[in-house]
Chains A and B, each alone.
Chain A
């Protein structure tokens, strides 16, 4: 009996001594932010008393819930969300008011069923919204190469991927995570051309047209935290990312799906973030 009581007391003590951390997902319930939020909630459970809040809607997350949370918060935010917010959408967020723990860049790739987007006109699938930056990229590709592509919008990358696999589309603009699955599902699909501003097979570098550059920049931010608290959280997150068997390591395919940076200062972050947001407005 004494042993049981001691064990319960110890467990309670450990639980009580861990710091509270709320992980607030600002993305949809099925997207990458949701999966990463849940992965962090598993990985960080030893170090923190985690409360995962996953409303599946950024308007609700930032508009209604965030102002009510007084304790430390870990929250993701993306450049395209910010662009929509600055264009009159329901919410926007000044990342300078938070401590940036992690900064990701994810360039898009052009996946094809065999055609060459530079030569062969076709239907190009992209994700929402219908009048968003990706629709403009498709227009820019058409203009650059003097061919008439048709932009077709899908509700998510999964739908666009499937439409490419079944032949409804000739091309799809997908992030690296989705290109990997598309190639697994259909080995005839190639995703060699990127819309990264530089590097191998970069369309913007090849043409010298910066308007063809597209990707998503994403941040994971610490809110309601001191610098020391944020530093500690960042250290723990980095450890989990280094461990490929952790939930987050597994989701990110051992940190290969994004270009992740942990050591950027405020100026460097703004130099990346602002042009990306403005290009997506």
Chain B
């Protein structure tokens, strides 16, 4: 049943999860002509599979090498440098796989049980709630991220400042564009995230003492399972985060990660919590699309269009009618995701057999190539290259700083500023 769409979705999810900068939007755009052979349900299954699997797989390079394969894996990257034993790495991978399956299936199960009430999520799309959530997570970050509080404030202000560069269509103003057509589009997000987050984290890993990283004993056969309360809590946070337009799973994982910082210092638990949340968000982000016809991110807009081409409309295709099939499909996909991700925890010793410095140097070079590639597919290769040249040295200087507040502020700046202005209009 829906074998081919699942298979395509899983394949796309693997690519999207493993390669930084190649997200679901790019893949959907590249595969557009081929996707038109699918019907409505097949497209939906393919997309749901892709979204779920990319979350499972994205955590693995994040945990092992500190590379954010998928954009919601940033909390895992931030914590990965605190994993000092192979056992912890292994636990993080297996725990994330289990947490991801738990988060996804709990959300799918609850949607199935409360399908008649899913319409209530419309009340979530209230500017006060959205701004409140964004501000809460930002403020919590000031006191929880592993820097001094004033450093975190400075990083958040810097992130907002970098985000402001460009033409703001909401306020109809230009900030630091200097009449340059590339700057009107703002700083490219993949380059900022690679240079100011991935590179500092990887440089930090590189400086770590390899002997300390390699523990002599480890236990790899068990699946690490977080306590049920933490799993349920992160699923709830992930579900809510997945509903936020433009941020979805990134917000899910970051918000859950911040919440976990209030309760635990264990990096394994923090990683599992954030990875559980982003899988819960990977399903909830579909709800506004399927219930109200509102896509929250670019890849969903493409999905909606493809589905509309096949005759999708909200009157004829009510969420409650296709949820059972979707739920069943997601159960299958999550079982597959778990069985792909969990065994990788057993391969942790293999990952560390190689010289970490060489591996990380190669990976930084690959990130440079990824920058060029994303620049190429966005038709702005020279601009991406210049941005990389300017920002990468700054990233190297920040190698001992946790730059998560900076990139988070950079990602949310539009939503936060627009939302605050809208609150003023609504008051």
Binding site for B on A (CB under 8 A): 29-30, 34-35, 38-39, 41-42, 45, 53-57, 59-60, 62-65, 84, 89-91, 123, 128-132, 150-155, 158-159, 161-163, 165-168, 181, 184-185, 247, 250-251
Contact = CB atoms under 8 A, between A and B. Distances in A.
Interface of B: 25, 29, 32-33, 36, 122-127, 167, 169-172, 174, 177, 181-182, 184-185, 245, 288, 291-295, 298, 301-302, 305, 308-309, 313-315, 378-380, 414, 418, 421-422, 425-426
B305 to A, nearest CB: 5
Given A63-B181, A162-B292, 19 more contacts: A29-B301, A35-B305, A38-B29, A38-B302, A41-B32, A54-B29, A60-B181, A64-B181, A90-B167, A129-B171, A130-B171, A155-B169, A184-B293, A184-B313, A185-B292, A250-B308, A250-B309, A251-B305, A251-B308
B130 to A, nearest CB: 10
A152 B177 contact: no
Nearest to A246: B309
Contacts of B293: 158, 181, 184-185
A53 B414 CA distance: 25
Nearest to B120: A166
Contact of A162 (B184, B294, B302, B314): B294
A60 B422 contact: no
Contacts of B126: 166, 168
B245 A152 contact: no
A42 B32 contact: yes
Contacts, number: 131
A236 to B, nearest CB: 17
Contacts of A129: 169-172
A197 B96 CA distance: 58
Contacts of B302: 38
Contact of A161 (B29, B294, B305, B414): B294
Nearest to A163: B125
A251 B380 contact: no
B131 to A, nearest CB: 12
A158 B305 CA distance: 14
Nearest to A165: B122
Contacts of B422: 152-154
A59 to B, nearest CB: 3
22 contacts: A29-B25, A30-B295, A38-B302, A39-B309, A42-B36, A59-B184, A63-B181, A123-B426, A129-B169, A129-B172, A150-B425, A151-B425, A152-B425, A153-B421, A155-B418, A159-B294, A162-B292, A168-B127, A181-B314, A184-B293, A184-B313, A251-B308
